[in-house]
Amino acid sequence: MLTRGTVVYIGQRVLLIGFTVLVVSFGVFYAVHSLPGNAFITERVHGQALQALLHQHGLDRPIVVQYWDFLRSAIHGDLGQSFVIQGEAITPLVIRELSVSMELGGAALLITVGLGMLFGVLAAIRQNTWVDYTLTTFAVIGYSVPSFVLASLFVLIFGLWLHDVTGGAFFYPLVWTGTYGTLAELSIPALALGLYTSGQVTRITRAAMLDVVQQDYIRTARAKGLKPVTVTLRHALRNAMVPVTSILGPLVVSIIAGSVVIETIFGIPGLGKEFARSITSHDYNVTVGVFTIFAALIGVANLGVDLLYTVIDPRIRY
Amino acid sequence: MATTVVAALPQEYSGGTLAREQVSLWRDGVRRLRRNKLALAAVIYLAILVVMSIVAFVWTPYKPNAIGACETYTTPSGAHPFGCDELGRDSLSRLMVGAQLSLAVGLGTALIVLFVGVTVGLVAGYFRGPVDSAISLVINIFYGIPTLLVALVLYTLLGPGLVNIMIAISATIWMDMARLVRGQTLSIREREFVEAARASGARSGKILFGHIFPNALGPIIVQATFVIPVAILTAAFLSFLGLGVAPPQADWGGMAAEGLQAIRYVPHIVLAPSIAISLTLLAFNFFGDGLRDAFDPRQKR
Amino acid sequence: MRPSLIKIGGLFVGVVGIVAAAACGSTSPSSSSNSLAASQVMRFPVIQDPKTWDPALMDAEVDTEQMQNVFDTLWRFDDHLNVIPDLATVVPTQANGGISADGKTFTIHLKQNVKFNNGDPMTSADVVYSWNRGASYHGAYASNLSAIQGFSDVFKAGKAYCKTGEGSANTTACYTGIEQKLAAKDPSFTMSGVTAPDPNTVQIVLANGCGWCITAWSLQGSTGAVVDQKVTGADPVNWWSKPGGAGVTDGQVGTGAYYLSSYIPKQSIKYKVVPNWWGSPKPTLTEVDLDIKDPSTQSTYIAAWEQGSYDLVGYGGDSSLPNADILRIKGTSSESSQLLLQPKGRTTWVSFNIGYPSTGGPFLGEGAAAKGLRTAFALAVDKNGLASTVCHNLVCAPATGGLITKGLIGYLGDGTDPLAKFDPTQAKALLKQYDPSGSLTSNLKYAYNAGGLNDPVATYLQGQWSTNLGIQVSLDPHPDASAFISDRLGGKFVMSRDGWQFDYNHPQDWFDNLWGGLVVGANTSGFADPTGDPTSNAVYDPLVAKADAEPLSQALPLYNQLSQLLQTDVAYIPLYYSVGEFLIHPYVKGAGSNTQADFYWDEISIASH
């Protein structure tokens, strides 16, 4: 319930997020402006012509002045214009890509938590059988294989091999259509992104369920005559949610980081792919914009997770 | 009927018997580790890896950078058990040299994280108050920054080079260690032997590193072991994105990235380093798991 | 009862099955008839967003390859690199009276009934406006107009206006201001050498003789292209990124057969055909869809092409495809005929730091030791070995005939470049002679921009110098191309990768842009005259100026002299000429490349398949 303590807590966290975003934005701004090179120099545009271009875009002013300008308009939601695509406004671009990334990340999170907990439950129920060993090893393998390798293998298997084997009837389409893709096009990248972290969820779920299954109140519930299935799913799972929720924050961070590679490999027009390109193409405001959005996302996700605790375990209060 | 787990010893009883308890914990831990088959297999694999990288300093089947040692894109065969890459260099030799780099990155990063995280955590947990608040704020800020992105920006600023890569990666994962050590310090500092040491006038530094640190050693070592695979994986990511060590230095991530383009033509170029990375990560993860189970006093066995 | 594993497993398989079924593609029976397909939409990937599509500012190949279908110039190149009329009725010569006797006045008659894609008619006033605009905007290719009377004043006026004048606040102020000046026909923004005696005639007067002008003015998608003043004046900054078409007053309006119908940044670009287009050949394709991809995903979208999601790969300047895919496709019998290897007019070489003393290095200046060491390093590289090991003799060919690419005017002939020889014995001897202790050639670095063939080439070079000279050169890859170019142009290198892709088929394009001290020169290696001044070259500069002013037949021997000058001075190590790779399905008729650019979209049709 929304007590005064909770409101104060949320307020404090929001302040922390805001402060983090501010620090991050300045740090990144300074860092990318210090990198050698710029967005305008080519073999034909250099010397005087280059200086003129830099001047027009205000890039020859002191960094603090540029940052102050950027901050003033960013607070109003205007991230400025791209240097790489002349005249293109950054804010709508970033918002569109953010929604694509959230679509991908959300699907990956579903797979992570859903698949991870499913496997964890199965492994716990069939503890020390071949099911357990297979699933546990599968989970560890999941976060030991670099995701770019996993993604490329998926492209090979689902895109090409499946296409050849079924004569073109079933296959994962290798081209992302439109902004949000189709469900089929989302499935494989989400799997590649979510598989990596689902292994951790599996192991934690398994451990938590094993732990809980042995506790007294479970035995009491069983003694009361409730069916084992009900007991397992209702009580044990509910309590296993706490440790899973505790790594939800780092999970989101992992997914955000992984999206940089996955979006690039699958050609998904999202924020991660944007970030990867904007550093070397010197599109400064894009880099800063993407970075701060990510930082804000992580802060909000962590806050959400902490609030989720209160729902799952009513004993936890702020 | 399952038996309940053995509860941890309450902290009040940990006073004078500290020395003996510590020894038996270690011996107990090693014994438990030895019985964990997966962890054992991991240790054997890692030992082989270390030996191979040391050997690579003086000998490899072919010179790892010798272009044209064989035809480009040769598939695995007798003379070249892992085939050759797109410039005709022997893959096995490059794998051996790459092992040196991966292990160096992993261990180096773990050392940096150990140094920074332990120091910060000890200070925050021991002195508490405003010092702790400030440090915790910094830790929280770092947590709010996406890890890969910090590594990317730092790398682009510092440039290629082994030490720079280690620094860039450390900056993204030191917080877990700091938080762990802080938590440990917070609980250990309440123990009677620490009170006693303070009362007898010992300086803070001696208390921190002489008393608190040794008691937290178990979890610290486990955490450090888990840093290694994360570092190796992040380094592979950076290589994949084109920000690894300068060529022609062989490094697993770079080899995998180069081989990815040829995955449909000659899969062995990407498979060999990818399997190497994966096995090494698996080994460190299993080893770390084993260590944690071994040192956890609440385990059944 | 425990939840049945079988049930759960079955559910999982079912989910995968549904996902796979949703991804169902269509199986297409192939019928090789010559009839046209019902859908005349062509689809292919490009590797980046447009930097700009404004002809006055464009310089990226991916942009010009698209805009050549939207904007027209007075003349253009045909499929064999010959100059043919586009908006003009003929190619002017002295014989047909188009060029005056002194070679300095061009009289050009325009085709009648030319319309912009929004319906506006095109007249000579639009040509005059567009060329003045091209000069005023002082873009990358403004120098194509540099021989015209009045050009340098307009060029300087535009630069001053935007750098220090009223338009210096930002790009909007700069471009808006210039458009206002052009609309008001401000004399300082009007080239005296470009006039329109009547609505169908344009007259151009040059300040001096110019043998390369018609070729340069034919460069597609550049400063010579004709734009609609009504449109560019309405939105000077963003007109080119908005859709064109009938009745549009502020979008992408040109005289070409296609116009932009939608552009979603970082995602896709779509073009539609202009109904009842005035020109020829009459277009068959109704729509051209481009997906904006990342260069690192080339293998994935090549796979998509193999599956049929794309009609071709390689258009839009994306003709450097991964070796492994090329080799695989060449080895696949059903696909090898769909691979087109077309030489690209691009040469790659190694530049030495000859004229920048501040950076240092053993190659500085014209002394015997420096030249000897340069020769040693040049002779120690096996160029044939490079082409076969790194390019598999498919995607590049050894550069043995000088720096101008084989097939272009100015090529000296196979095997004529002494620097292309491979002579490790001689190389070692020279090294021993000029650096017996090895102190001069220690700590050398080879700088290059990472990516594509550059990485294996660099590794190969390093191996060659190590094996054949015993010298360890360390590699200095720059993941950031702009930082690399900045360093190279500033002379901050000892050895650097260098290269040039031709803009138009005339040696002036090479010699005016790469060496010497002329205003537009980049002088990448500081190739200097004996006084060591990298900003001027007493031998080179006058020769270039003379050659530029002559018609080609007289200029060619002079340009060849310049080539030989570079060779005797050992200004470079020649490496390879590039070959472009195109993957074209057999049902795409009329697609290809003329070495400089893709074939136009109005030549292409999709057969039924």
Count of domains forming chain B: 1
Chain B neighbors of C323, CB-CB under 8 A: 86, 261-262
Nearest to A170 among C5, C20, C484 (CB): C20
Assess if residue B40 is contained within a domain: yes
Are C202 and C195 contacting, i.e. CB atoms less than 8 angstroms apart?
yes
The answer to whether the Cβ–Cβ distance between B153 and A253 falls below 8 Å is no
Res B19: pLDDT: 42
Res C246: pLDDT: 93
Res C587: pLDDT: 96
Nearest to A125 among C2, C159, C309 (CB): C2
Assess if residue B255 is contained within a domain: yes
Residue of chain C whose Cα is closest to the Cα of B254: C455
- Going by pLDDT thresholds of 50, 70 and 90, the confidence category of residue C532 is low
Entry field: residues in chain A: 318
Res A318: pLDDT: 64
- Going by pLDDT thresholds of 50, 70 and 90, the confidence category of residue C524 is low
Whether ipTM exceeds 0.85: no
Assess if residue B2 is contained within a domain: no
Res B297: pLDDT: 60
Chain C interface disruption, residue of A79, A90, A170, most C CBs within 10 A:
A170
Checking if the pLDDT of B27 tops 90, the result is no
Res B168: pLDDT: 87
Helix (H) or strand (E) holding C200: none
Res C145: pLDDT: 95
Checking if the pLDDT of C84 tops 90, the result is yes
The answer to whether the Cβ–Cβ distance between B263 and C460 falls below 8 Å is no
B210 and C CB contact within 8 Å: no
CA–CA distance, A316 with A310 (Å, rounded to integer) = 5
- Expressed in percent and rounded to 5, the helix, strand and coil fractions of chain A are 75, 0, 25
The answer to whether the Cβ–Cβ distance between C328 and B265 falls below 8 Å is yes
- Going by pLDDT thresholds of 50, 70 and 90, the confidence category of residue C70 is very high
The answer to whether the Cβ–Cβ distance between C485 and A126 falls below 8 Å is no
Query: For the segment C274-302, what is each residue's pLDDT rounded down to a tens digit?
Result: 999 999 899 999 999 999 988 878 888 89
Report the range of poorest mean pLDDT among B244-253, C179-188, C467-476: B244-253
Checking if the pLDDT of C395 tops 90, the result is yes
Is the bond into C281 cis (omega within 30 degrees of 0)?
A: yes
A7: DSSP letter: H
Assess if residue B79 is contained within a domain: yes
Tell me the one-letter amino acid at C1.
Answer: M
**What percentage of chain A exceeds 90 in pLDDT?**
10
Chain A neighbors of C522, CB-CB under 8 A: 43, 46
Res C19: pLDDT: 45
Res A232: pLDDT: 60
Report chain C's mean pLDDT, rounded to a whole number: 88
Tell me the one-letter amino acid at B269.
Answer: I
**Average pLDDT rounded to a whole number, residues C588-609:** 94
Q: Which domain CATH number covers B95?
A: 1.10.3720.10
Res A218: pLDDT: 55
Helix (H) or strand (E) holding C567: helix C552-568
CA–CA distance, B254 with A46 (Å, rounded to integer) = 33
B154 and C CB contact within 8 Å: no
Assess if residue B220 is contained within a domain: yes
Beta strands in C206-320 (DSSP E): 258-264, 268-273, 287-292, 312-313
Nearest to C322 among B68, B261, B266 (CB): B261
Nearest to B86 among C299, C323, C463 (CB): C323
Residue of chain C whose Cα is closest to the Cα of B66: C463
Strands C258-264 and C268-273, sheet pairing: antiparallel
Assess if residue B18 is contained within a domain: no
**Average pLDDT rounded to a whole number, residues C600-606:** 96
Are B109 and B103 contacting, i.e. CB atoms less than 8 angstroms apart?
no
Distance from CA of B4 to the nearest CA of C (A): 23
CA–CA distance, C169 with C176 (Å, rounded to integer) = 11
Distance from CA of B179 to the nearest CA of A (A): 14
Q: Give which of C49, C482, B141 is closest to A279, Cα–Cα.
A: C482
The answer to whether the Cβ–Cβ distance between B256 and A149 falls below 8 Å is yes
A272 and B CB contact within 8 Å: no
- Looking only at Cα atoms, what is the longest distance across chain A? 86
Chain C neighbors of A69, CB-CB under 8 A: none
Distance from CA of C122 to the nearest CA of A (A): 27
**What percentage of chain C exceeds 70 in pLDDT?**
91
A-to-B residue pairs, Cβ atoms closer than 8 angstroms: 107
φ, ψ dihedrals at C514, nearest 5°? -110, -40
**What percentage of chain B exceeds 90 in pLDDT?**
17
The answer to whether the Cβ–Cβ distance between C170 and A58 falls below 8 Å is yes
Among the residues of C3-57, which ranges form H helices? 5-22
Checking if the pLDDT of C15 tops 70, the result is no
Q: Give which of C310, C81, A260 is closest to B149, Cα–Cα.
A: A260
Chain A neighbors of B264, CB-CB under 8 A: 156, 160
Checking if the pLDDT of B217 tops 90, the result is no
Chain C contact residues (CB < 8 Å to B): 298-299, 303, 322-325, 327-328, 385, 389-390, 392, 450-451, 455-456, 458-460, 462-463, 474-477, 479-480
pTM for this prediction = 0.85
Distance from CA of C111 to the nearest CA of A (A): 32
Residue of chain B whose Cα is closest to the Cα of A257: B148
**Average pLDDT rounded to a whole number, residues B149-168:** 78
Chain A interface disruption, residue of C266, C497, C535, most A CBs within 10 A:
C266
CB burial of residue B24 (10 Å; 0-12, 13-18, 19+): exposed
Query: For the segment C93-115, what is each residue's pLDDT rounded down to a tens digit?
Result: 989 989 999 889 999 999 999 99
Res B201: pLDDT: 80
The answer to whether the Cβ–Cβ distance between A19 and B141 falls below 8 Å is yes
Checking if the pLDDT of C64 tops 90, the result is yes
Checking if the pLDDT of C367 tops 50, the result is yes
Res C29: pLDDT: 43
Checking if the pLDDT of C464 tops 50, the result is yes
The answer to whether the Cβ–Cβ distance between A17 and B144 falls below 8 Å is yes
Assess if residue B199 is contained within a domain: yes
Res B300: pLDDT: 47
CA–CA distance, C251 with C14 (Å, rounded to integer) = 50
Report the range of poorest mean pLDDT among A142-151, B229-238, B271-280, C450-459: A142-151
Chain C neighbours (≥3 Cβ pairs under 8 A) are: A, B
**What is the Cα C97 distance to its own chain's centre?**
32
Query: For the segment C300-311, what is each residue's pLDDT rounded down to a tens digit?
Result: 889 889 888 899
Are B92 and C489 contacting, i.e. CB atoms less than 8 angstroms apart?
no
Res B191: pLDDT: 79
**What percentage of chain A exceeds 70 in pLDDT?**
90
Q: Which is more confidently placed, A237 or A83?
A: A83
Beta strands in C1-82 (DSSP E): 41-46, 75-77
Assess if residue B11 is contained within a domain: no
Res B20: pLDDT: 44
Res A87: pLDDT: 77
CA–CA distance, A4 with A6 (Å, rounded to integer) = 5
Tell me the one-letter amino acid at C6.
Answer: I
CA–CA distance, A50 with A39 (Å, rounded to integer) = 10
- What CA–CA distances, in Å, run from C235 to C160, C240, C265, C433? 22, 9, 19, 65
**Average pLDDT rounded to a whole number, residues C244-269:** 94
Q: Which is more confidently placed, C19 or B28?
A: B28
Checking if the pLDDT of B14 tops 60, the result is no
Res A157: pLDDT: 84
Query: For the segment B239-248, what is each residue's pLDDT rounded down to a tens digit?
Result: 877 777 777 7
Residue of chain A whose Cα is closest to the Cα of B138: A20
Residues 6 or more apart whose CB falls under 8 angstroms from that of C396 comprise C348, C387, C390, C453, C576, C577, C578, C579
Strand, coil or helix: C573 = strand
Res A225: pLDDT: 63
Report the range of poorest mean pLDDT among B223-232, C80-89, C498-507, C536-545: C536-545
The answer to whether the Cβ–Cβ distance between B153 and A276 falls below 8 Å is no
The C-alpha angle A245, A246, A249, rounded to 5 degrees, equals: 85
Helix (H) or strand (E) holding C351: strand C339-352
Strand, coil or helix: A93 = helix
CA–CA distance, C251 with C131 (Å, rounded to integer) = 19
Res C608: pLDDT: 92
φ, ψ dihedrals at A85, nearest 5°? -105, 105
Nearest to B274 among A23, A146, A294 (CB): A146
Tokens describing residue C444: 């050398």
Out of A7-11, B74-78, C72-76, the most confident range is C72-76
Q: Give which of A22, A39, A16 is closest to A74, Cα–Cα.
A: A22
Report the range of poorest mean pLDDT among A242-246, B274-278, C322-326: A242-246
The answer to whether the Cβ–Cβ distance between A44 and C483 falls below 8 Å is no
Checking if the pLDDT of B261 tops 80, the result is no
Angle of helix B18-35 versus helix B268-295 axis, rounded to 10:
140
Q: Which is more confidently placed, C470 or C20?
A: C470
Tell me the one-letter amino acid at B95.
Answer: L
Q: Give which of C126, C140, C182 is closest to C54, Cα–Cα.
A: C140
Chain A neighbors of B237, CB-CB under 8 A: 146, 148, 261
Domain that holds residue B167: 36-299
3-state SS of chain B is CCCCCCCCCCHHHHCCCHHHHHHHHHHHHHHHHHHCHHHHHHHHHHHHHHHHHHHHCCCCCCCCCCCCCCCCCCCCCCCCCCCECCCCCEHHHHHHHHHHHHHHHHHHHHHHHHHHHHHHHHHHHHHCHHHHHHHHHHHHHHHCCCHHHHHHHHHHHHCCCHHHHHHHHHHHHHHHHHHHHHHHHHHHCCCHHHHHHHHCCCCHHHHHHHHHHHHCHHHHHHHHHHHHHHHHHHHHHHHHCCCCCCCCCCCHHHHHHHHHCCCCCCCHHHHHHHHHHHHHHHHHHHHHHHHHHHHCCCCCC
B73 and C CB contact within 8 Å: yes
